[in-house]
Homo-oligomer: A and B are copies of this chain.
Amino acid sequence: MKASIITIGDEILIGQIVDTNAASISRRLNAAGITVAERTSVGDDREQIIRTLERELAQSEAVILTGGLGPTKDDITKKTLAEIFGSRMVRDEAVADHVRTMLEKRGIAFNELNQGQAMVPECCTVLFNRHGTAPGMWFERDGRVVVSLPGVPFEMEHLMEDEVMPRLRERFSLRQIVHRTMITSGLAESMLAERIAAWEEALPEYLHLAYLPSPTVVRLRLSAYEVDGESVGREIEERFERLKEIIPQYILGFETATLQSAVHDLLISRGETLAVAESCTGGAIASRFTAMAGASAYFLCGVVSYSNEAKRDVLGVPAELIERHGAVSEQVARSMAEGVRRISGADYGVATTGIAGPTGGTAEKPVGTVWIAVASESGTAAVMKQSGTDRGQIIDRASGYAISLLRDTIGR
């Protein structure tokens, strides 16, 4: 079965926001065996919404729309849908009560604009939005389904999970879609493709291979559409087992595995602990670990030692080391890693010190120069990495390099 997604809002078309809703809806539909035929973003424009919806209804059995359901004048999705389905607007008392209660809790008056949120096209089934004030709506016509959801990601996700997916499963008989992803690290895309060419050649036609490269990892995804999920799942497992024999040292994990999740699992299974001292990465490494549930089992402490005084007073880096070699130096990186390991009592201490820019670079140490060190019981390793020219990119790449060095150190 095919579905289309239409995300509505001028803020999407002008690039003011990145559309994360479309990806989130795609994942849920795929998990239920529904193929996404096409995704379109249009503005808050009556003609365009009508034209696009009719077009997508010609190729898909279900169309999911998000956005344009707010209380203000620029939001026109609801009245446009009423027009398309030739339905008058009626007041839904359950929605009205819910909106009033929600607003009262937050100390907001139930004004005329909010009253409008309780009005819905008479022909739709209301999908109750317990997390927000704009209700979802479910329409049917000629055996096809149109669903309209609010654009606030959190509200949309709950409605998809609690209301839309169960109804789609009940309404259509669905086959399965299988995606499995293996994460590799350490081989560039073209070298990886060359190395596994024979394995790729031998794949059956219904298994589709995709390469997804990024600076630190290359993901390999095998997909099969509208199949018997169980047997295809087993087939993919076996194919990946063979791949493990070909490139064992380059496999980081599966599905959403990342460098940090691989280290997270390693540290938990070994019962070891971690502390981080960051200068140029400014808390990004600590954030990557602490964003994962269960990090408190091994993450003891992070220090963002931005000033030289913090490096000296909190981490115990000797002032004369900074004076002689500069804050961005191998010596200071090593001292930071050893310092944070000492003050926290962790098994591993990781440190970064570099020039994130845009200013502060010199001919000898240009913007993007980053020293990385990892201290452990068996000593301290340090490397210098050129990490790009853009501040965000430098922080991101340097964090990746540091976690990669930590992974190598633990694995040794």
The chain A residues found within 8 Å of chain B, CB to CB, are 10-20, 22-28, 30, 36, 38-42, 44, 48, 52, 70-74, 103, 106, 108-109, 111-114, 152, 154, 177, 179, 181, 188-191, 193-194, 200, 208-213, 219, 221, 223, 276, 278, 281-287, 289-291, 293, 295-296, 299-307, 309-310, 313-314, 343-345, 356-360, 391-393, 395
How many copies of this kind of chain does the complex include?
2
B19 touches A23 (CB 8 A): yes
Q: How far is the CA of A412 from the CA of B343 in the complex (A)?
A: 36
A181 touches B39 (CB 8 A): no
The residue that A72 contacts in the complex, of B211, B284, B301, B393, with Cβ under 8 A, is: B211
B306 touches A303 (CB 8 A): no
The residue that A309 contacts in the complex, of B109, B295, B345, B391, with Cβ under 8 A, is: B345
Chain B, Cβ-Cβ closest to A340: B314
Main SS of the interface on chain A? mixed
Q: A19-B23, A71-B189 are in contact. Are A301 and B306 (CB under 8 A)?
A: yes
B293 touches A283 (CB 8 A): no
Nearest 9 pairs between A and B by C-beta?
A282-B290, A283-B286, A302-B304, A15-B26, A283-B283, A15-B27, A301-B310, A283-B287, A39-B41
The residue that A109 contacts in the complex, of B112, B191, B289, with Cβ under 8 A, is: B191
Q: A200-B73, A286-B304, A291-B392 are in contact. Are A13 and B42 (CB under 8 A)?
A: no
For A295, the chain B residues whose CB sits under 8 A away are 282, 306
- Taking A38-B48, A282-B302, A301-B309 as given, write out 9 further A-B residue pairs in contact, using a Cβ cutoff of 8 Å, ordered by the A residue number: A38-B42, A103-B188, A109-B194, A276-B304, A283-B304, A284-B287, A290-B306, A304-B304, A314-B314
Chain B, Cβ-Cβ closest to A219: B16
Chain B, Cβ-Cβ closest to A282: B290
Q: How far is the CA of A285 from the CA of B281 in the complex (A)?
A: 13
Q: How far is the CA of A136 from the CA of B306 in the complex (A)?
A: 40
In the assembled complex, 22 residue pairs joining A and B whose CB atoms fall closer than 8 Å, in A order, are A14-B223, A17-B23, A19-B22, A22-B41, A38-B52, A40-B41, A72-B193, A72-B211, A73-B209, A74-B209, A74-B211, A108-B191, A111-B194, A152-B213, A154-B393, A283-B286, A283-B302, A291-B391, A301-B303, A301-B310, A302-B304, A307-B344
A36 touches B13 (CB 8 A): yes
For A13, the chain B residues whose CB sits under 8 A away are 26, 36, 38-39
For A106, the chain B residues whose CB sits under 8 A away are 188
Q: How far is the CA of A179 from the CA of B313 in the complex (A)?
A: 47
Q: How far is the CA of A57 from the CA of B297 in the complex (A)?
A: 56
The residue that A30 contacts in the complex, of B15, B27, B209, B304, with Cβ under 8 A, is: B15
For A17, the chain B residues whose CB sits under 8 A away are 23, 212
